[in-house]
């Protein structure tokens, strides 16, 4: 969750949030359609431009905006925009840490720097538009499972944008490391319960452990050990929250022979025991108000 603030706001959001969605017109019209150079330390922003025009300043370079297009602005990068008064589209703001581990990884791999992606004639245009429109509709409403629907559409949107980036990289012949990293992710998913060593993954990929660790650092900014641990934790949390499995059953399912070691692992990652974490999360669900009729 984040207390970072949106452009032009003197304080952060009134409450912690994971995502936000509004029209480009509503945000930019407050500032005479010109968003000065600024940066967000916590936010990933996705701008979908469906009409109008303008220009985007990303990392000091000014690029014309011709719809349909998507602009990606990861946390920490300076950016600014000038829009025409007939600008149309959406700006989706989210907290990367609220995404699933796998989605965080592919986002860091493929959407690590600010970029403007033209969508005219692209095969994925319809999918991108549909995801953006559904995010906007769900955010504006208060229907059952609203947040779950938004999260699902954000995952779909990011996946499509990552595929577009991958296709571009393949066309330019710059995606060798990306292919290897994708293979690593598939191996981790396949052997997550087997507790394989770094040597195993290096051998499977035909590279040294040093090269493998360098690849993981380059692609997702963390170590192989931390990457695996984050995925183990994500699976454990899903099992604790959405099944009736005991803590011991979750531990065994994840390949932890000693349940006490699993508990220590969980405390190290979350600051809470598995049982305490499950109770706290279930209480949050119970306290969520019912949607309006």
Structural domains in the chain (count): 3
Write down the pLDDT at residue 110.
Answer: 79
Q: Can you list the pairs that 164-172 forms with residues at least 24 positions away whose Cβ atoms lie under 8 Å?
A: 164/117, 164/122, 164/124, 165/110, 165/111, 165/115, 165/117, 166/110
| 27/147 same-domain check | yes
The list of the chain residues with pLDDT below 70 reads 1-17, 168-176, 285-293
The CATH number for 238's domain is: 1.10.10.60
DSSP strands (E only) in the chain: 19-23, 34-38, 44-51, 54-58, 61-65, 69-73, 79-83, 88-94, 115-118
Neighbours of 176 (CB within 10 A): 10
% helix, strand, coil for the chain, step of 5 = 50, 15, 30
Task: For the chain, give the number of residues.
Answer: 293
Write out the two tokens for 220.
């997702």
170 by DSSP, 3-state: which? helix
**What whole-number distance in Å separates Cα of residue 266 and Cα of residue 135?**
32
Residues 92 and 163 in one domain: yes
Residue 135 is predicted with a pLDDT of: 95
Q: Does the N-terminal peptide bond of residue 265 adopt cis geometry, omega within 30 degrees of 0?
A: no
CATH number, domain containing residue 84: 2.60.120.280
What pLDDT digit, counting tens, does each position of 179-191 carry? 788 889 889 999 9
CB of 59 closer than 8 Å to CB of 96: no
pLDDT digits (tens, 9 = 90+) for 242-292: 889 999 999 999 999 999 999 999 999 999 999 999 998 888 765 544 433
Domain range for residue 185?
175-221
pLDDT the model gives residue 131: 95
Give the model's pLDDT for residue 263: 96
In this prediction, residue 293 carries a pLDDT of: 32
pTM comes to 0.64
pLDDT of residue 15: 38
Token digits for 159?
Answer: 């996946």
Q: Report residue 185 as tokens.
A: 């992710």
Q: Phi then psi for 119, rounded to 5 degrees? A: -115, 0
Residue 8 lies in a domain: no
């Amino acid at each position: 969750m984040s207390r970072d603030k949106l452009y032009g706001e003197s304080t952060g959001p009134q409450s912690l949030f994971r995502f936000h969605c509004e029209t480009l017109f509503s945000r930019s019209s407050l500032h005479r359609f010109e968003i000065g150079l600024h940066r967000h330390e916590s936010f990933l922003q996705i701008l979908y431009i469906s009409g109008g025009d303008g220009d985007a300043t990303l990392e000091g370079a000014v690029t014309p905006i011709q719809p349909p297009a998507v602009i990606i602005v990861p946390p920490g990068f300076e950016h600014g925009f000038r829009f025409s008064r007939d600008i149309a589209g959406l700006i989706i703001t989210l907290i990367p840490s609220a995404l699933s581990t796998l989605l965080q990884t592919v986002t860091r791999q493929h959407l690590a720097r600010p970029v403007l992606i033209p969508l005219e004639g692209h095969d994925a245009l319809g999918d991108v538009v549909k995801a953006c429109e559904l995010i906007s509709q769900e955010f504006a409403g208060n229907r059952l499972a609203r947040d779950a629907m938004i999260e699902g559409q954000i995952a779909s949107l990011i996946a499509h944008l990552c595929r577009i980036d991958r296709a571009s990289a393949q066309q330019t012949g710059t995606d060798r490391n990306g292919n290897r990293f994708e293979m690593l992710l598939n191996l981790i998913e396949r052997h997550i319960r087997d507790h394989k060593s770094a040597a195993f993954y290096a051998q499977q990929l035909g590279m040294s452990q040093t090269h493998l660790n360098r690849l993981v650092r380059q692609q997702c900014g963390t170590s192989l050990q931390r990457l695996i641990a984050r995925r183990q934790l994500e699976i454990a949390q899903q099992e604790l929250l959405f099944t009736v499995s005991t803590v011991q059953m979750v531990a065994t399912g994840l390949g932890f022979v000693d349940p006490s070691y699993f508990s220590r692992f969980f405390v190290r990652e979350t600051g809470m025991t598995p049982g305490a974490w499950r109770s706290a999360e279930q209480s949050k669900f119970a306290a969520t108000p019912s949607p309006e009729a």
